[in-house]
Amino acid sequence: MTDNPLNLSLSLYVLRYAEIALKGKNRIFFEKKLVENIGLYLKKQGGLAKVKRLHGRILVMCEKTPKFEQVFGIVSYSPAQEFSANWKMMTQETLSELKKHEKTTTFRVSAKRLTKDFSKTSPEIERELGALIVEATGWKVDLEAPELDVCLEIIGPSSYLFTKTIKCLGGLPVGAEGKVLVLISQDPKSHLAALLLAKRGCDIQPVMLESQKTPDVALLESFLPRQVTIEKLTGPDQMDIVAEKRFCTAIIVPDTLGTLQEYDSSYPILRPLIGLSDEEVLVELEKYKRAL
């Protein structure tokens, strides 16, 4: 993934997913939806970007520093270097990269062979590369709590070297599980309810009561591939009409045990916050704010 016709300064990232890998025959659909959402996120960010789906991984080359924590479906990502899956080149590039970490004293090698056409197994790579690093640097191996984790992932003809992994929120890509209508207000509970369903792959269709003030949806919009547009309703009885118009399969409300209401609706009413206290709602919301 080295296409860069404008010769710009681009950075390469290896992205990982987890739950998508369990989707069996539907896995390709979920992978493509995730790639689409990543592309939309990068488009909002601006600058040159390219996204490529590989076996078990997604590669992104982009001009601006991303925060993939805002894309549901990704469990982690790493700034990486790409080079040929050639043992001599892999060892040379790794030892060259480690010169940037002069103050390191302990390390471990974590290797993963995602495709099996490379001759050495993952444990063999870890042992042999680890021995070369010890010989070149004098560092000690620490498998439990190393100062530096030297990671190699091999996919087909290419290998990817990285020393940093950033955790993300995981879940499923937005839009992979159909549309749901979400009742939004200024109450932060309603925003958390929407985010929880978006994380489960739902395409969020927000509505609000006309009698209420328009809420700030900046947090919600940060995690959705497209701009948030809120439709105003004169009353809760209109939710079914809008749900049918937008081909929604359920209606999401921010009720907790303390604010439980009944709704006259022919649609399933989902209450994702029903078991949370107000304090727990704020704790959960903070997780999303930290990803901004």
- How many angstroms separate the CA atoms of 31 and 103, rounded? 39
Instruction: Give the residue numbers spanning the domain of 77.
Output: 11-167
pLDDT per position as a tens digit, 159-186? 999 999 999 999 999 999 999 999 999 9
Question: What pairs with residue 50 in β-bridges?
Answer: 61
- How many angstroms separate the CA atoms of 200 and 124, rounded? 38
pLDDT per position as a tens digit, 216-239? 999 999 999 998 999 999 999 999
What's the CATH code of the domain at 31? 3.30.2130.30
Q: What is the pLDDT of residue 3?
A: 57
- Longest CA–CA span in the chain (Å) reads 73
Domain end: 167, 197, 217, which one?
Answer: 167
Is the pTM above the cut of 0.85? Answer: yes
Q: Is residue 161 part of a domain?
A: yes
What separation in angstroms does the CA of 194 have from each of 29, 82, 143, 263?
Answer: 23, 38, 40, 18
Residues composing the chain? 292
- Quick check: 2 pLDDT over 50? yes
Confidence label for 5 from pLDDT (cuts 50, 70 and 90):
very low
- How many angstroms separate the CA atoms of 180 and 75, rounded? 24
Share of the chain above pLDDT 70, in %: 97
Give one DSSP letter per residue of 80-141, joined into a string. Answer: EEEEES-HHHHHHHHHHHGGG-TT--EEEEEEEESSTTSSS-HHHHHHHHHHHHHHHH-PEE
Count of domains forming the chain:
2
Say if residue 149 is in the same domain as residue 185.
no
Instruction: Calculate mean pLDDT across residues 74-85.
Output: 96
Q: What is the pLDDT of residue 205?
A: 97
Q: What is the pLDDT of residue 21?
A: 77
Say if residue 130 is in the same domain as residue 218.
no
Say if residue 50 is in the same domain as residue 161.
yes
Say if residue 249 is in the same domain as residue 200.
yes
Q: What is the pLDDT of residue 255?
A: 95
- Quick check: 109 pLDDT over 70? yes
For 23, list phi and psi in degrees, rounded to 5.
-85, 5
Closest CA to 263 of 277, 251, 273: 251
Q: What is the pLDDT of residue 4?
A: 52
